[in-house]
Amino acid sequence: MSEQGSERQKRSEIDRRKFVLHSVGLGAGALTLSRLPKARSRRNQQAAGTPLVVTSHSNETGGEAMRQAWEILDGGGTALDAVERGANVIEVDPEDSSVGYGGLPNENGVIQLDASIMDGRTYNAGAVASLENIKTPSSVARLVMERTDHVILVGIGALEFARSFGFQEEDLHTERSRAAWLRWREEHSDRDDWGPPDHLRNLPSPGPDGRDANRDANSGATGPGTNSGLVDQPLDFHYGTTNVLAVDSNGDISGITTTSGLSWKVNGRIGDSPIIGAGLYVDNDIGAAGATGRGEDVIKSCASFYIVLRMGQGRTPQEACEDACELIVQKYRNVNPNFFPSEKFVAVNKAGEYGAASMGNNRGRPRMTVRNAESLQVHEGTTLYTG
Ligand code: ASP
């Protein structure tokens, strides 16, 4: 290995250790502000032209994804290659139930993936929706962008397209995702007949309306980025997606949003992730934004486009993410004041600032992993409207 290569490897190892240390701290609830440089400041700025890459994932895989994406940026590579690498790391992780391999399936037990990619430099975009059996939908989306004159391919068409480029079809279920789905199928309704007969189940007495009066009380709260307790706890709907956004040393900007979508969704349902302007938007003159959470809200508000638009009007990424939360909450406030949406937005701008905001969930402040020339760190944004 060249001296430069081994130096880079050494640096990555150090980065990885730093990140792991940090993750352990998070897991133990020992997050201290001193370990999060600039975490509370509204302007998280680095020098213009300095590369950075971020993801909405804040777990260890998110850290590894950023480490690998950073290697590309640090070596002078493009934002486009960096976001693809970062997204692929998360997509192939079998432990991650929100994206790619091992993602949670739809109501029929079929894992249908949505992904989009946007290249600010060429103002080009590609996406796939309801794609089955391919672990890395973001790479298929990239080919849609680069090798067709279209933006979105869906279902069997997307699969045939992927196959034609040599992508291998694989069962995307892990033992864990299948067990979660089987369990959901047995528990999802208090009126259906899945699962063992009542007299063989160890249940409290059925409530007036159904088989299991305790189901709601036992249901764990779920929210953006959630993928814990899949097998041990009663299952409700789970959200989870990843956004990867990057600025390279030329100042070019790219982004990816990739997901297995809302768990147990109706067969064929497409969320916001493959819709340019909703789950992802990039403007090379301004910045990039991505969304996770209830896709239906994000589609209707064109949230990622709105965030980039607001940044173009002078708002920081942090403020623009909050603006999108505000927009959605205001719309629902007129319709149902008791409804609290649960989206999370992340954004970066051309100057290397970044931010995150979420609303309506009880899981604390939204986190994102950020890698720039300074550090690899987990940044906490703001939570609004927690209900
Ligand atoms: N936005 C995704 C969807 O609605 C799910 C998520 O981010 O949790 O499909």
> Phi/psi of residue 38, each to 5°?
65, 10
Instruction: Given the residues 136, 222, 241, 369, select the one marked as catalytic.
Output: 241
Highest mean pLDDT among 19-23, 47-51, 136-140, 330-334: 136-140
pLDDT of residue 143: 98
pLDDT of residue 185: 85
pLDDT-derived band at 387, boundaries 50, 70, 90? low
Instruction: Inform me whether the pLDDT recorded for 12 exceeds 70.
Output: no
**Ligand 1 mean position, distance from CA 232 (Å):** 22
pLDDT of residue 290: 98
Segment 354-369 mean pLDDT = 86
Residue 241 bears catalytic tag: yes
**Ligand 1 mean position, distance from CA 321 (Å):** 17
- Token readout for 181 is 């789905």
pLDDT of residue 50: 80
Better-predicted residue by pLDDT, 235 or 195: 195
Map out the domains of the chain as residue ranges.
Answer: 51-174+235-384
- Decide whether any atom of ligand 1 lies within 6 Å of the 137 Cβ: no
Better-predicted residue by pLDDT, 240 or 107: 107
Lowest mean pLDDT among 18-32, 183-197, 300-314: 18-32
- CA within 13 Å, CB half, 362: 4
Strand 124-131 relative to strand 152-154, pairing: parallel
pLDDT in tens, 53-63: 999 999 999 99
pLDDT of residue 271: 95
Superfamily per CATH, domain 51-174+235-384? (Glycosyl)asparaginase (3.60.20.30)
Q: Locate the DSSP E strands across the chain.
A: 52-55, 113-119, 124-131, 152-154, 242-247, 253-259, 280-283, 287-293, 343-349, 354-359, 367-372, 376-380, 382-384
